[in-house]
C-alpha cells in the first residue's frame, strides 16, 4: 500500500509521534512510523481494564504537567485536559502523611502546630548538620534540605526500595525533584498547566498519528526490517541508543518496574490516586488506584482497580524505565553520543526521546524536545537540503 516514505520514525511514543505529526502536517511529507509493540503510544499508552472499564496506564501512571507555553498550545490541538491536580500521600509506620513535605507533613510528623516560620526554623536547625553545597550524595543532599528525621521517615526507605541502592551511593540530583514547602499547599507539581486527557492517553496519541501522510506499522521491530527500507531514507530513532550500536560501548543501566494489578469488589480502596509506602519492609513503593485520576467519569461504584508498583534493576528483556546514570553509564553515553553524531552525518539517523538519549524525560519534555528537533534539524533538512546533523551539504 505504501509509497516511499520521506522519513522513517522508529517508536510511536510522544517523541516519535510529535516528529511524525510535524513532518506530515507542516512539510506535507510522508512518514512511516514503526513500533515493536502491538500498540501505539510508547509508555504513555493506556487502556480500559476489561472488568471495570477503568482506564489504566499500562506502563505506570502518567500525569501531564508543563509550564512550556508552546508545548501546552501544541498538545491542546489533540485533546482537552481535565482539571485533575495531582496529590500524593505517604504511609510511614502506620500513619498517613501529606506529600511533598509541606507544613501539614511537618505538623503531623512532629505532632505539633507550627507556623511557617517556626517550621522553617525547626527544619533549618535539623538540616544544619550538612551544607547543601557540599552534599556529595542523595542522603547528604536530603538531610541538608530537610534534616535527618524527615529524611529517615519519608525518603530513605522509599528511595532504597525505588533504586535498590543505598542513598549514600545515589547522585544528589535525584532529589532535586522533591520540593519542601512551608505552606499547606500539597500539589505535587508546580507547573502552570496540569490535567489529564479527557478521552484518555490512547485517544490523544491516536489523534496525533491520524494524518493521511502518516503510516503506523505496529508489531514491527526496526532491526528486523531495516534492510527492506530505502537505504538513504532519513530516520529518527527513539529506541535504546546502546542497542542501535549493538552495545559497542557496553549496556546502559536502567531501572524497571513490575506492576501487580488487582480488581477489588469495593468502590474505593484508598481514597486517592497514589499512596506511597515509605517503610522499607513493605516491598512495593506505591499503590495506584486508577479511578481517582478521573473523578468526572462514570465508573462502577462497587469495583475498583489497584496497581502495586515494585522497582528493580532491569535485566536483558525487561522494559527500561528510568536511566540509572552511574558514572560508568555516563562514560558509555559519551561514546554513544560520538557514534550518534557520526551516524547523523553519514547515514541520516537522528536519535531522540527517552531511550534514544538515555535521559529521563517527562512527556512535556519529550514533546518539547521533538518540536526542537523538528525546527532545528528536520525542517532545515527538507527545506534547504542539508545534512541531518545541522550542517548544510557541501
Catalytic residues: 177, 181, 255, 286, 309, 360, 362
Grid cell listed for 233? 531514507
**Cβ distance to ligand UDP smaller for residue 62 or 332:** 62
The answer to whether residues 135 and 184 touch, using CB atoms and an 8 Å cutoff, is no
State which residue, 87 or 211, has the beta carbon closest to ligand UDP.
87
Site string for ligand UDP, 95-114 (x = CB under 6 A): ----x---------------
CB of 168 to ligand UDP, least distance (A): 13
- Give me the residues that bind ligand FAD (CB under 6 A), please: 10-16, 34-37, 42-44, 59-64, 221-223, 238-239, 257, 321, 353-355, 361-364, 366
Provide the CB-side half-sphere exposure for 39 (13 A, CA): 15
Quick one: which of 8, 4, 367 has its CA closest to 216? Answer: 8
Q: Does 186 bind ligand UDP (CB under 6 A)?
A: no
Q: How many CA atoms lie within 13 A of 390 on its CB side?
A: 8
Half-sphere exposure of 109 (CA within 13 A, CB side): 24
The residue (of 349 and 361) whose beta carbon lies closer to ligand UDP is 361
Site membership for ligand UDP, residue 154 (CB under 6 A): yes
Torsion angle, alpha carbons of 269, 275, 276, 279, to 10: -40
CB of 254 closer than 8 Å to CB of 320: yes
Which long-range CB contacts under 8 A does 122-130 form with residues at least 24 apart? 122/147, 123/147, 123/150, 123/180, 126/150
162 binds, among ligand FAD, ligand UDP, none (CB under 5 to 8 A by kind): ligand UDP
Contacts of 94 (CB under 8 A, 6+ apart): none
Per-residue x/- marks for ligand UDP, 166-185, CB under 6 A? Answer: --------xx-xx-------
Nearest residue relative to ligand FAD (C-beta): 42
CB of 240 to ligand UDP, least distance (A): 19
Phi-psi region of 342 (alpha: psi -120 to 50; beta: other; left: phi over 0): alpha
Least Cβ distance, residue 17 to ligand FAD (angstroms): 7
Instruction: Please give the radius of gyration of the chain, using alpha carbons only, rounded to the nearest integer.
Output: 23
Partner from ligand UDP, ligand FAD, none binding residue 239, C-beta < 5-8 Å depending on class: ligand FAD
Which of 157, 175, 176, 177 shows the shortest CA–CA distance to 166?
157
Contacted by 221, from ligand FAD, ligand UDP, none: CB < 5 to 8 Å by type: ligand FAD
Site for ligand UDP, residues 282 to 341, rule: CB under 6 A: none
Query: Which H or E element spans position 254?
Result: strand 254-264
22: partner contacted, choices ligand UDP, ligand FAD, none (Cβ within 5-8 A by kind):
none
99 binds, among ligand FAD, ligand UDP, none (CB under 5 to 8 A by kind): ligand UDP
Q: Give yes or no for a contact between 309 and 286, defined as CB atoms under 8 angstroms apart.
A: yes
Q: Which is nearer to ligand UDP, 8 or 361 (CB)?
A: 361
Told to check if 90 binds ligand UDP by CB under 6 A, we report yes
Candidates 162, 202, 213, 304: give the one binding ligand UDP (CB under 6 A).
Answer: 162
Cβ-contact 259, 45 below 8 angstroms: no
From the list ligand UDP, ligand FAD, none, pick the one residue 12 interacts with, judged by a Cβ distance below 5 to 8 Å according to partner type: ligand FAD
| CA distance between the termini of the chain | 36
Distance of closest approach, residue 360 Cβ to ligand FAD, in angstroms: 7
Residues in touch with ligand UDP (CB under 6 A): 90, 99, 154-155, 158-159, 162, 174-175, 177-178, 276, 278
Amino acid at each position: 500500500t505504501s509509497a516511499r516514505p520521506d522519513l522513517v520514525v522508529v517508536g510511536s511514543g510522544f517523541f516519535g509521534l510529535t516528529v511524525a505529526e510535524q513532518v506530515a502536517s507542516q512539510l506535507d511529507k510522508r512518514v512511516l512510523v514503526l513500533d515493536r509493540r502491538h500498540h501505539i503510544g510508547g509508555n504513555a499508552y493506556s487502556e480500559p481494564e476489561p472488568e471495570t472499564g477503568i482506564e489504566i496506564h499500562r506502563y505506570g501512571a502518567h500525569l501531564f504537567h508543563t509550564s512550556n507555553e508552546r508545548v501546552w498550545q501544541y498538545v491542546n490541538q489533540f485533546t482537552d485536559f481535565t482539571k485533575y491536580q495531582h496529590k500524593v500521600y505517604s504511609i510511614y509506620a502506620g500513619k498517613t502523611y501529606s506529600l511533598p513535605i509541606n507544613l501539614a507533613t511537618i505538623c503531623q510528623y512532629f505532632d505539633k502546630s507550627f507556623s511557617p516560620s517556626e517550621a522553617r526554623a525547626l527544619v533549618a536547625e535539623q538540616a544544619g548538620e550538612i551544607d547543601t553545597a557540599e552534599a556529595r550524595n542523595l542522603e547528604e543532599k536530603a538531610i541538608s534540605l530537610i534534616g535527618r528525621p524527615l529524611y529517615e521517615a519519608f525518603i530513605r526507605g522509599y528511595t532504597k526500595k525505588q533504586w535498590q541502592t543505598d542513598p549514600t551511593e545515589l547522585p544528589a540530583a535525584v532529589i532535586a525533584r522533591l520540593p519542601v514547602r512551608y505552606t499547606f499547599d500539597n500539589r505535587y507539581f508546580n507547573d502552570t498547566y496540569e490535567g489529564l486527557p479527557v478521552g484518555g492517553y490512547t485517544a490523544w496519541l491516536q489523534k496525533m498519528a491520524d494524518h493521511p501522510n502518516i503510516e503506523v506499522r505496529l508489531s514491527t521491530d526496526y532491526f528486523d526490517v531495516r534492510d527492506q527500507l530505502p537505504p538513504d531514507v532519513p530516520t529518527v530513532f527513539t529506541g535504546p541508543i546502546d542497542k542501535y550500536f549493538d552495545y559497542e560501548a557496553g549496556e546502559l543501566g536502567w531501572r524497571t518496574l513490575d506492576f501487580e494489578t488487582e480488581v477489588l469488589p469495593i468502590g474505593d480502596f484508598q481514597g486517592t490516586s497514589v499512596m506511597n509506602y515509605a517503610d522499607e519492609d513493605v516491598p512495593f513503593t506505591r499503590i495506584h488506584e486508577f479511578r481517582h485520576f478521573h473523578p468526572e467519569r462514570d465508573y462502577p461504584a462497587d469495583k475498583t482497580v489497584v496497581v502495586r508498583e515494585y522497582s528493580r534493576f532491569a535485566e536483558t528483556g525487561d522494559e527500561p524505565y528510568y536511566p540509572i546514570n552511574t558514572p560508568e553509564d555516563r562514560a558509555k553515553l559519551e561514546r554513544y553520543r560520538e557514534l550518534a553524531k557520526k551516524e547523523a552525518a553519514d547515514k541520516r539517523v537522528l536519535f531522540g526521546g527517552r531511550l534514544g538519549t538515555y535521559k529521563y524525560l517527562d512527556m512535556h519534555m519529550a514533546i518539547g524536545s521533538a518540536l526542537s528537533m523538528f525546527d532545528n534539524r528536520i525542517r532545515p533538512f527538507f527545506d534547504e537540503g542539508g545534512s541531518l546533523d545541522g550542517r548544510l551539504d557541501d
